[in-house]
Amino acid sequence: METTHKRTRVFPPRAFILFLTALLAGFIVLATAKGAVQIPHALVTKILLNRLPLVDFSGWEKAQEVIIMTIRLPRVLLAVLVGGGLAITGATLQALFRNPMADPGVIGVSSGAALAAVISLASGMSLRHYMILPFSAFLGALGTLFLVYTLASRQGRTSMATLLLSGIAIGIFMGSLLSLILTRISSIEAFREIFFWLMGGLDGRGWSHLKIAIWPILIGTLALIFFSRDLNLLMLEGEDGAAALGMEVRTVQRILLVLSSLVIGAAVSFSGTVPFVGLIVPHIVRLMIGPDHRYLLLASFLAGGSLLVGADLMARTIVAPEELPLGTITSLIGVPFFLYLLNRDGKQVI
């Protein structure tokens, strides 16, 4: 279940990261400007920059500022965090398992979060407070990680291959339980709400959600970047080679799994299930700048944020005033790329 084929670098990593930063800023302005009420891009930029110290712009209506700062901007920034978090964990897991098909769903964490969220929706618990749904999903993600890790551990040692297979099995089992719950729901409204959560979306998300999501995702992201050299060593030398060079392989693997689950759980808890971001983004970035994780992780975060901001913009504008599920957009993008990967790398991924 490994691949070690070489990747060629197309762009200088630092220049590409600067490009992705500018691209993400452009997507943020574009997504904040578009909606039921169209606001000029230049005006959006002024309103956003006006929040900075020593900047004093004016010349817009109060309603325009309210739309941007209260409704659109927090949703867009949450899309950045979710997309970036899923992408950077995808890059991490692909290096950790040395498998190009690994993504945030591979260890069952996404399935665990989805099951816990559906239970809170089906039972009516989510109606008591708006934070119960994301908190339930987050606990489901962490609980699934603990279960998968326990199943894969023997006498203090954890096999990555066993953990991968355990994650797949637990994910399938969680999916079966979820299907069973769906068959017992009689309320059309509850079923509709669960369906749209499972398909992913950021509808109704605001500053209160962003303030909670930002800490686990950013802390986890910065910590993963801190381990970029360890990921390079694992990719180049494998577990035995890294251990021979002095790395505490098991400790590093455990930390990376916990950090990845922290980011995945926080992201999925606020966005629902958003497939393929963690799979396709690291591949695209790796093709552009090579496999050096000192640059790959940050670039994946920026690219993932841009992708999800763009996908969320499409989801809320294609059939406006209705919204398409966010997972539908990412699947339409991700499935063709996934088939391309299978055709390109199928003989190397065993």
Q: How far apart, in whole angstroms, are the C-alpha atoms of residue 160 and residue 102?
A: 12
pLDDT score recorded for residue 304: 97
pLDDT score recorded for residue 5: 43
- pLDDT, one tens digit for every residue, the chain (350 residues): 444 444 456 789 999 999 999 999 999 999 999 988 888 888 888 888 888 777 777 778 888 889 899 999 999 999 999 999 999 999 999 998 887 777 887 778 888 888 888 888 888 887 788 778 888 888 888 888 888 888 887 766 667 778 888 888 998 999 899 889 888 887 787 787 788 778 888 988 889 889 989 999 999 999 999 999 999 998 888 788 888 888 888 889 889 988 998 898 889 888 988 988 998 999 999 989 999 999 999 999 999 999 999 999 999 999 878 888 999 999 898 888 778 766 765 544 43
* Number of neighbouring beta carbons within 10 Å of residue 192: 11
Q: How far apart, in whole angstroms, are the C-alpha atoms of residue 204 and residue 190?
A: 17
Are 236 and 103 spatial neighbours (Cβ–Cβ below 8 Å)?
Answer: no
pLDDT score recorded for residue 158: 67
Domains and CATH numbers, the chain: 13-345 (1.10.3470.10)
Token pair for residue 171? 């994910």
Phi-psi domain of 56 (left: phi exceeds 0; alpha: psi -120 through 50; beta: other) = beta
Are 73 and 17 spatial neighbours (Cβ–Cβ below 8 Å)?
Answer: no
- The string of DSSP codes covering 202-247 is -TT--HHHHHHHHHHHHHHHHHHHHTHHHHHHHHHHHHHHHHHTT-
Are 273 and 212 spatial neighbours (Cβ–Cβ below 8 Å)?
Answer: no
Q: How far apart, in whole angstroms, are the C-alpha atoms of residue 27 and residue 33?
A: 10
pLDDT score recorded for residue 2: 41
* Cis upstream peptide for 12 (omega within 30°): no
Token pair for residue 204? 């109704």
pLDDT score recorded for residue 344: 67
Are 144 and 108 spatial neighbours (Cβ–Cβ below 8 Å)?
Answer: yes
